[in-house]
Chain A
Amino acid sequence: MQTALLLLLAVPLAAAAVVALLGAGRPRAVRRLSLLASVVCLLLAVVVAAGFTQAPPAEDGARTFHPRLAVQWNLLQLGPSPSAMVQFYVGVDGLNLALVVLTALLVFCGVLVSWKSVTERDNEFFAWLLALETGMIGVFLAFDIILFYVFFELTLIPLFFLIGIWGGPQRQYAARKFFIFTLAGSLITLLGVIGVVLAVANDPYAPPPAAAQNADEANELTFSIPRLVELVHGHTAPLPDDVEKKQKAFDKVKNADFPNEKAAAETQLKRAQERLDFWRTVEFWVFAALMVGFAVKVPLVPVHTWLPLAHTEAPTAGSVLLAGVLLKIGAYGFLRLCVPLAPDASLAFGRPLIGVLAVIGVIYGSFCALAQEDIKKLVAYSSVAHLGFCMLGVFALNEVGLSGGLLQMINHGLSTGALFLLVGMLYERYHTRKAADYGGMAARLKLLALFMVFITLSSIGLPGLNGFVGETLAMFGMYSTESDPNRFPGWLLTGLASAGVVLGAWYMLTLLRRVFFGEPKEPAHEGHGPVRDLDARELTALVPVAALCLALGVWPQPFFDAARPDLKVVARIADGARDRADAERRLAAPPEAPQAAAAPGGRPQ
């Protein structure tokens, strides 16, 4: 099974190299080989998913991720101790399994949909597409933080060329803008990554290894994500309790006549407080730095401007993968790194900030989509809105919200991926993307219209289809944060976001009506050959995606079963941050109000 995991990374890369070397003169061989590689990859992903085993029950209550089928190879030592090793460390767990399957599926669709539409430099196109697959699967599988970054960056190069060479009229500008936005964000993310690694390695307040109660409290330089999560917990979890303990000790001797003991207790208290402040500062900056790169990738509202341009200019396969997988990398980064490595900052700053940005994204993205004439641009803006729901779920920071967020990632990948496939198929037939050029296409292209209606319904969250489950859970999660002791106004954000559901239905159904129903109007298509309905190749690309949409809507349980243990880990980490926030609030409460300090810090279960 480990071999299957490694093959998932190696097969597309090897196929990319072979395809690139085949040369431009062999269109059939290039296409067949690419298709073969993508099918093999999809099968491998399915095999890995089918053989995915749950974490053993003994690990219930775990506070870190447990990659299954893990492979660890040493790459580069960056410090004196042997643990300071950058590793090739990959594995699967509940968080990345579904995303890997999604990636393999969408690449398969991408190869099929590019079969005829790409004619120029086709070997390069398919080579970059397959190289991109390795990069994307690598990001999801990586459990070493530097390896994660390496794959994260490596996805940029293939997409740069895919957009820049085979894109629309503004392709060069779009490709460079996409690259620079993501690179600028990810470099700051890299700073955050290094920051968190060094924070747990060089914590000046940590007890020396001999005096540490457990290994997680002592300093250690490591790049393994699961270990880092443990270390962050070990370094930060005891702090508020420690301050409280020292405060009590100080209060005891405060009024007594033991100057030495008093001074000692005061010094200890001060040091404990300093340590707490130090970690709050560190976590804030780690969170801020990690957030920048992932926020660009998601994208959250002020840094989303690269998205409509890149999605619109990219070739169909590029748009499908951009929307279907690349945006998920941002959301996945929040889930895998940002929340577990800076839990307190995620709770204190992340939830209000990202919650508000996500709601702005939902509403602003929807209105922008409503105003678009270009069908592809409309779908692109709808991504901004849908990812808003996804982030709303993730930053609810409870199990319901997290599972909604994760499901919403898959949903958006399926439905928006399929929408881009359909728009690409329409474009291939008529070479125009303006909604005004079309009308009543349902009569002309029956199957295409059927799929379009189905996917639209999935995208706007019709009950019984996947979008409904994800959006509902994400909003449930956010809504239930209201019972948090700090009275986070989740209901307000949820209320505003639910307006986005209505807007989503509005713009999608408007699009459907204008293009597929109403007055028949067919754009001029002379010179592009006779227009036919979907053929077998296109159906092969669409049917699995549509089937998954239905399956996840009707019976999402297998998905949740696989993801639950690891989602629980993230939720548990967030709960720990809630407890600490309570403790800090008790500390900050004025001493003359003891009843406030005694208030129970219950949290929703």
Chain B
Amino acid sequence: VKPLDEALIGFFPQLLPEAVLVVAACAFFLGGTWRARRRLWGIAALVALALAGVALAYTAAGVRSVEALKQEISEPPRKDPNISPAGQQVLDERRKHDEAALPAMVYASPVLHSRLSVLFAWIAIAGGAVLVLLSWNDVPDEYAAEYHACLLLVTAGVCLTGMANDLITLFLALELVSIPTYILLYLPRSDPRAQESAMKYFLLSIFSSALLLFGFSYLYGAAGTTNIPAIVDALSGPAGAEPGAAGLALVALVLVTAGLGFKLAAAPFHFYAPDVYQGTTTSAAALLAFAPKVAAVAALIRLLGYAPGFAGGRVLGLDLGGQTPRLLWILAAVTMSLGNVLALLQDNLKRLFAYSSVAHAGYMLVGLAVAPKLGDAAAAGGVDAVLFYLVAYGAMTVGAFAVIGWLSTPARPVETVDDLAGLSGSRPAAALVMALFLFSLIGMPLTAGFWGKLQLFFGTMSTGPDPAHAALLKPEDLARQTADAWFFRALGLILAVNAAVGAWYYLRIAAVMYLRTPLQLLERTRPWPAMAAVWACALVTLGVGLFPWPLSQAVKKATHGPPAAAAPGPPRAAAATGGPAP
């Protein structure tokens, strides 16, 4: 098989986890006509996710990833005197084939199986399992099969976004996240408020998809290909500096950021978040706070070229003459400030956490803004910090929603901050884990949120000129880069101020739980699935807080790619010439 054909056809084994999830979802849709029991379909969804996990473990270990391929061809060819000439010929041919397979895989395959995609798939599947547990009791029996099927599809969509290597795949993956979400918002509740929120989300999401697609068309126009690494190479190489291409790329960048900003709930595309979160069930709100954000971060990392570039060296993203970091700088500053200030005014818990999720989207944008400025060294604080933060954010935010879901009963829903009054007396365990999530959201030490924020701070402060090359720089370049660094350090300051502002409303909840007497006692119910979801999130929040090492290693391996030393010459030029003619 020729390498190109192999790249175009042979990617199916890489999609095994997604295939498991989609097949299971189809089976659920059919099976829903046969039995309508939420316990049955909940367990089935967990089983499907477990199978997807097994499939993912198999894919991660058994299917050759782009890193493994790169590793193989970077080693010197094997010359073994004990092998017969025929055997040696086979080996040589295989090596030649492998060498041709790498560019084919990177520049032709619609999906790219790498450590990054595996990491996203783990995040999606783990998150999916927690969300299944959380929505267990929120779903009416008659819709349970459809609901869980949609949840599996969303999970598959997030996995696929993490590995999309082509604009078309990426768009399809994002729609695979969005379309089931509309149904998820609509199914569990049928009161007018839920319908309004589902409709609102639907209309705005369609609009954002259109923006995204429009942006993709510009990207295609500028680069002449739909393959994402090729687009990144083309636009970050010398061709991208031409006025025509640069202008198109800038328009594309703005449109794409707007389209994904909706999914990320970045200001000014965050308007839907509080209304929709408030109108829907707790579990659906948790889903909205988690899945679209993971997908949007994955898409941004791919589209902005922050994912490791395997064919060339490490490409530091679509800089577009410094416009990308600047755009993301503004977006991050506005998003976190607006989210935090508006959250101060909220009394409804879901609205509060909606604005809080807006603020945290801003924190993640900080990492994305500084990522291209971090130099070639394996500096911490860019994309790796964003991924670390994403995991921490997922655990603590879904955890907070899970506590609300755990405490709510249909007769006595937990809606406002005051409903949690005196929780430490009536439900000490719930109050304790809620406090854990809140302190993690503030960023207190010994929680996942602390290490996440620390790394983001680290990134904003590391943006100076690369000391290894500083001696070679012209004085004016050095001065400009040093001045540029202050611009990004200011973002760190904004982040610090925002983290302190955010502490006020998280503390308000903690104060209400611990310092006040209950207005009305909560019912003592023990819905075990929601409880399991809470404890899973608490375990991650505390575990990562106490032992950040494994997660930070996994994230580093996924984002830093192969060492840049393997690439000859300046990485960007090599990448630009390494691309195929479209």
Measured in the bound complex, the distance between the Cα atoms of B500 and A520 in whole Å is 49
Q: Are A194 and B461 in contact (CB under 8 A)?
A: yes
A496 at the binding interface (Cβ < 8 Å): no
Q: Which of B220-228, B249-257, B286-294, B377-385 contacts A (4 or more CB under 8 A)?
A: B377-385
B462 at the binding interface (Cβ < 8 Å): yes
Measured in the bound complex, the distance between the Cα atoms of B467 and A201 in whole Å is 8
Q: Are A78 and B515 in contact (CB under 8 A)?
A: no
Q: Which residues, 141 to 179 on A, are CB-close (under 8 Å) to B? A: 146, 149-151, 153-154, 156-157, 160-161, 164-165, 171-172, 175-176, 179
A598 at the binding interface (Cβ < 8 Å): no
Shortest CB-to-CB span from A285 to chain B, Å, is 8
A60 at the binding interface (Cβ < 8 Å): no
Given contacts A150-B445, A154-B444, A198-B462, contact A187 B515 (CB under 8 A): no
Q: Which residues, 464 to 504 on B, are CB-close (under 8 Å) to A? A: 464-468, 470-471, 473, 475, 478-479, 481-482, 489, 492-493, 496-497, 499-500, 503-504
Q: Are B500 and A194 in contact (CB under 8 A)?
A: no
Shortest CB-to-CB span from B515 to chain A, Å, is 4
Measured in the bound complex, the distance between the Cα atoms of B57 and A23 in whole Å is 44
Measured in the bound complex, the distance between the Cα atoms of B379 and A278 in whole Å is 21
Measured in the bound complex, the distance between the Cα atoms of B473 and A179 in whole Å is 45
Residue from A151, A164, A219 in contact with B514 in the complex, judged by beta carbons closer than 8 Å: A164
B549 at the binding interface (Cβ < 8 Å): yes
Q: Which of B47-55, B66-74, B152-160, B452-460 contacts A (4 or more CB under 8 A)?
A: B452-460
Q: Are B380 and A79 in contact (CB under 8 A)?
A: yes
Given contacts A157-B444, A187-B500, contact A76 B467 (CB under 8 A): no
Question: Which residues of chain B have C-beta atoms less than 8 A from A261's C-beta?
Answer: none
Given contacts A176-B508, A191-B493, A206-B467, contact A150 B446 (CB under 8 A): yes
A208 at the binding interface (Cβ < 8 Å): yes
Q: Are A171 and B479 in contact (CB under 8 A)?
A: no
Residue from A183, A204, A274, A285 in contact with B467 in the complex, judged by beta carbons closer than 8 Å: A204
Question: Which residues of chain B have C-beta atoms less than 8 A from A204's C-beta?
Answer: 464-467, 470, 473, 478, 481-482
Question: Which residues of chain B have C-beta atoms less than 8 A from A76's C-beta?
Answer: 451, 548-549, 552
Which of A171, A183, A267 has the largest number of chain B CB atoms within 10 A? A183
Q: Are A190 and B464 in contact (CB under 8 A)?
A: no
Question: Which residues of chain A have C-beta atoms less than 8 A from B41's C-beta?
Answer: none
Question: Which residues of chain B have C-beta atoms less than 8 A from A157's C-beta?
Answer: 439, 444
Measured in the bound complex, the distance between the Cα atoms of B450 and A208 in whole Å is 33
Given contacts A154-B445, A219-B467, contact A176 B507 (CB under 8 A): yes
- A-contact bits for B494-532, CB 8 A (1 contact / 0 none): 001101100110011011001110000000000000000
B442 at the binding interface (Cβ < 8 Å): yes
Measured in the bound complex, the distance between the Cα atoms of B457 and A278 in whole Å is 21
Question: Which residues of chain B have C-beta atoms less than 8 A from A278's C-beta?
Answer: 482
- B-contact bits for A198-229, CB 8 A (1 contact / 0 none): 10011111101000000000010000000000
Q: Are B504 and A202 in contact (CB under 8 A)?
A: no
A75 at the binding interface (Cβ < 8 Å): yes
Question: How many residues of B are in contact with the other chain, CB < 8 A?
Answer: 50
Question: Which residues of chain A have C-beta atoms less than 8 A from B379's C-beta?
Answer: 79-80
Given contacts A154-B444, A204-B470, contact A187 B458 (CB under 8 A): no
Question: Which residues of chain A have C-beta atoms less than 8 A from B510's C-beta?
Answer: 160
Question: Which residues of chain B have C-beta atoms less than 8 A from A179's C-beta?
Answer: 503, 507
Q: Are A161 and B504 in contact (CB under 8 A)?
A: no
A603 at the binding interface (Cβ < 8 Å): no
Given contacts A76-B451, A78-B458, A190-B454, contact A172 B511 (CB under 8 A): yes
Measured in the bound complex, the distance between the Cα atoms of B10 and A93 in whole Å is 64
Q: Are A184 and B378 in contact (CB under 8 A)?
A: no
A485 at the binding interface (Cβ < 8 Å): no
Q: Are A191 and B462 in contact (CB under 8 A)?
A: no
Given contacts A154-B444, A172-B515, A191-B457, contact A202 B496 (CB under 8 A): no
Measured in the bound complex, the distance between the Cα atoms of B497 and A289 in whole Å is 12
Question: How many residues of A are in contact with the other chain, CB < 8 A?
Answer: 47
Question: Which residues of chain A have C-beta atoms less than 8 A from B462's C-beta?
Answer: 198, 202
Question: Which residues of chain B have C-beta atoms less than 8 A from A171's C-beta?
Answer: 515
A531 at the binding interface (Cβ < 8 Å): no
Q: Are B478 and A194 in contact (CB under 8 A)?
A: no
Q: Are B457 and A190 in contact (CB under 8 A)?
A: yes
Q: Are B489 and A195 in contact (CB under 8 A)?
A: yes
Q: Are B445 and A153 in contact (CB under 8 A)?
A: yes
- B-contact bits for A429-441, CB 8 A (1 contact / 0 none): 0000000000000
Shortest CB-to-CB span from A313 to chain B, Å, is 12
- B-contact bits for A251-289, CB 8 A (1 contact / 0 none): 000000000000000010011001000100000010000
Residue from A79, A160, A190, A208 in contact with B471 in the complex, judged by beta carbons closer than 8 Å: A208
A180 at the binding interface (Cβ < 8 Å): yes
Shortest CB-to-CB span from A280 to chain B, Å, is 13
Q: Are A80 and B507 in contact (CB under 8 A)?
A: no
Shortest CB-to-CB span from B373 to chain A, Å, is 12
Q: Are A188 and B444 in contact (CB under 8 A)?
A: no
Measured in the bound complex, the distance between the Cα atoms of B14 and A15 in whole Å is 52
Question: Which residues of chain B have C-beta atoms less than 8 A from A191's C-beta?
Answer: 457, 461, 489, 492-493, 496
Residue from A77, A154, A187 in contact with B499 in the complex, judged by beta carbons closer than 8 Å: A187
Question: Which residues of chain A have C-beta atoms less than 8 A from B492's C-beta?
Answer: 191, 194
Shortest CB-to-CB span from B409 to chain A, Å, is 26
Q: Are A165 and B514 in contact (CB under 8 A)?
A: yes
Shortest CB-to-CB span from B426 to chain A, Å, is 13
- The 6 nearest A-B residue pairs measured at CB: A204-B470, A184-B500, A150-B445, A187-B496, A164-B515, A80-B378
Which residues does B use to contact A, with CB under 8 Å? 377-380, 439, 442-446, 450-451, 454-455, 457-458, 461-462, 464-468, 470-471, 473, 475, 478-479, 481-482, 489, 492-493, 496-497, 499-500, 503-504, 507-508, 510-511, 514-516, 548-549, 552
A-B pairs with beta carbons under 8 Å apart, 6 shown: A78-B455, A154-B445, A160-B507, A176-B511, A184-B497, A194-B457
A190-B457, A194-B454, A202-B462 are known contacts; what are 7 more A-B pairs with Cβ within 8 Å? A75-B548, A150-B445, A150-B446, A187-B496, A194-B458, A194-B492, A204-B473
